[in-house]
Amino acid sequence: MPSSNPDLLILTDAEGLANFTESALLVLQLSRSEVEAGNVASALERLHVVAETRESALRYRESLVFNVSGYEADRRELAEIPEVRRFFARLTQEWPHWLWFLHRQVGAIPLLFALLCQVKIHRTPGAFGTEFLDREELGAKMADLFNRGNAMFTAYGMSSGEISASAQSAVAELTGGMPYGN
């Protein structure tokens, strides 16, 4: 079945994903129980599959989103929940490739950094905004992910153009298109 079918939904585990060879939107589904247990093993198993080969890294570039279920009744935003923040800090320490794989234009990159950095949530009726409290921390987290992600680029012989384009789109996604550092 072609992956271009918008009605096609395939639920699979790491083994099924490893055998899937089409482009797809990937959803990393995380449960409250695995988050609160700090169990990153299952998430890592699935994430390692998308970065396992040069072909899969190219196929799934900017194709990953994540969903944390089980907090729907919690009035806090995910970035305000300590267990979720700890889980993503640990997961990111083990897997630095978020900026290459996270889907653009859906808020995945700002959400990831809101989970990794100190933020303040501003609420208005029906909406909220996220303020990063320390731009240096934000820049350091981003630089860390770029630096640790370079090992994959080197191992797979990614072109500097591909790497640069992905980095630029990640920064633009996080800054809303504004140049960082102003």
**Any domain includes 98:** yes
Which of the four pLDDT bands, split at 50, 70 and 90, describes residue 2?
very low
Give the pLDDT score at 166.
94
The sign of the dihedral angle between the CA atoms of 100, 30, 107, 81 is negative
The yes-or-no verdict on residue 3 having pLDDT over 70 is no
Give the pLDDT score at 17.
64
**Any domain includes 7:** no
Q: Tens digit of pLDDT for each residue in 99-148?
A: 999 999 899 999 999 999 999 999 988 888 999 999 999 999 999 999 99
- CA atoms within 13 Å, Cβ hemisphere of 57: 23
- How many CB atoms sit inside 10 A of residue 1's CB? 7
Arithmetic mean of pLDDT over the chain:
88
**Any domain includes 74:** yes
**Any domain includes 9:** no
Which of the four pLDDT bands, split at 50, 70 and 90, describes residue 5?
very low
**Any domain includes 53:** yes
Give the pLDDT score at 26.
87
**Any domain includes 138:** yes
What is the extent of the structural domain holding 131? 14-175
Give the pLDDT score at 178.
55
Q: Tens digit of pLDDT for each residue in 27-58?
A: 899 999 999 999 999 999 999 999 999 999 99
**Any domain includes 5:** no
Give the pLDDT score at 41.
96
**Count of domains observed in the chain:** 1
**Any domain includes 4:** no
Residue 139, H or E segment: helix 135-156
Q: Tens digit of pLDDT for each residue in 128-140?
A: 899 999 999 999 9
Beta bridge partners of 67: 29
Which of the four pLDDT bands, split at 50, 70 and 90, describes residue 4?
very low
